[in-house]
Amino acid sequence: MAQHIDVLIVGAGQAGLSMSHCLASAGIEHVVIERGEVGERWRSERWKSLRLLTPNWMTRLPGHRYAGNDPDGFMRRGELVRLLETYGSSFAAPVQAQTRVLDVSRVGAAYHVRTDRGDWIARAVVVATGACDRPVVPAIAADLPKGVEQIVPERYCRPHDLPAGGVLVVGASATGVQLADEIHRTGRPVTVAAGRHVRVPRSYRGRDIMAWLDACGFLDERRSPEDSSDRVNRQPSLQLIGHPDHRSLDLPRLAARGVRVIGRALAVNGASVAIAPDLPQQTASAENRRRKLLARIDAYVAEAGIDAPHDPAAWAQPHDVGYGLTRLDLRATGIRTVIWATGYRRTYPWLNVPVLDEAGEIRNAGGVTPVPGLFALGLPFMRRRSSTFIDGVGRDAEELVVDIARHLNPRSEKAA
């Protein structure tokens, strides 16, 4: 017999737990279904040395603020898992772990949620499975020679687990540059195939770049109704690394250390990879975006009257980073491994509700889908630019709970 609940949340990461905290604070009965344990993706789908890109003080969740002795440090993935466990325990989050959702269907005004540990009837469902669901692997991967090992970031653990030889990292956003840096530091030859990217300094004018982006309102910018899901999902993440020494990491720095930087991988023919010739344009665009961002921070500093030293080094024009290749011969360069750091997509094979668009993404406006009672949380730029950040997803949850409460009790609003 199915159990009845007001709200069922799918996923017990930072999004699901934030939603749970907000629902609990509002007195709304709910359950959180998790296929593994709390923070499962951080446990099992992240590489060993990973640290957050945001400083510890930005691990703000509903009802939680960082209170440790290293606010400007960067948490390791294990530390974040422990934080999420402690956070969930602090308000007795009703998590049903080791439970896989098999089907979500609408029945009348409610939802029938079938799992491998029993069924639920919920008046509302929140899909909180996160933005980093399935790694994107381009179609050209199928044309690579059989002797070349192919992996995605969720399967990467550490450099020594890779086959001997050179490594091609395809993608130059945060994940791509971090993996390229880590692997190159072990002495392996590394090549990065770079497309569109965003280059920013780790620190600027005496503060962490995230402190400025938070203060000047950049991270809190709202999504425009005109922004399509496709455009939002194609936005690259910042080229950053969360390291104890607060060092910056970008393509010019990688190139200066001997990493080969080339253009986008277009096609594969045997052991030959066709390379796009637009790397100079991509790096110029990245520099333009960087300067616009720094100028915005400068304007905020001036307007707020903040005493922050100027940082001329951050404005210095970088040296050319690219090799003028149009083809990369994998055999001749000794490349034995290709890492596809080409982003993520979302898949919902269990969601049998008509809310997916042509790309398989959930159609929504700030997490409210066109189907009454079905909500989403933790998607890219869902309500604001920081929607996929730990800090941003919590603020989205605090706003989304109002929509959920309105759905559960529409009469209260009419009476008001």
pLDDT in single tens digits along all 416 residues of the chain: 899 999 999 999 999 999 999 999 999 999 999 999 999 999 988 888 999 999 999 999 999 999 999 999 999 999 999 999 999 999 999 999 999 999 999 999 999 999 999 999 999 999 999 888 889 999 999 999 999 999 999 999 999 999 999 999 999 999 999 999 999 999 999 999 999 888 899 999 999 999 999 999 999 998 776 665 555 555 667 888 999 999 999 999 999 999 999 999 999 999 999 999 999 999 999 999 999 999 999 999 999 999 999 999 999 988 888 777 899 999 999 999 999 999 888 999 999 999 999 989 999 999 999 999 999 999 999 999 999 999 999 999 999 999 999 999 987 654 34
Cβ-in-10-Å burial (0-12, 13-18, 19+) of 342 comes to buried
Phi first, then psi: give them for residue 61, nearest 5 degrees: -125, 160
Q: Residue 236 has what pLDDT? A: 66
What Cα–Cα distance (Å) separates residue 140 from each residue in 230, 272, 327? 21, 12, 14
Q: Residue 416 has what pLDDT? A: 41
Distance CA 117, CA 102 (A): 10
Q: Residue 320 has what pLDDT? A: 81
Q: Domains in the chain, please, with CATH?
A: 3-133+346-415 (3.50.50.60), 137-340 (3.50.50.60)
Give the residue among 117, 118, 97 at the shortest CA–CA distance from 10: 97
Residues near 338 by beta carbon (within 8 Å), at least 6 away in sequence: 141, 144, 148, 149, 150, 151, 167, 168, 169, 170
Q: Are 15 and 38 in contact (CB under 8 A)?
A: no
Task: Report pTM.
Answer: 0.93
Q: Which residue has the tokens 């993706």?
A: 41
Helix, strand, coil shares of the chain as percentages rounded to 5?
30, 25, 45
Q: Residue 234 has what pLDDT? A: 59
Q: Residue 166 has what pLDDT? A: 97
Instruction: Calculate the CA 14 to chain-centre distance.
Output: 12
Residue 155: count other Cβ atoms within 10 Å of its Cβ.
13
Q: Residue 415 has what pLDDT? A: 39
263: left (phi over 0), alpha (psi -120 to 50) or beta: beta
In this structure, what DSSP letter does residue 103 have? E
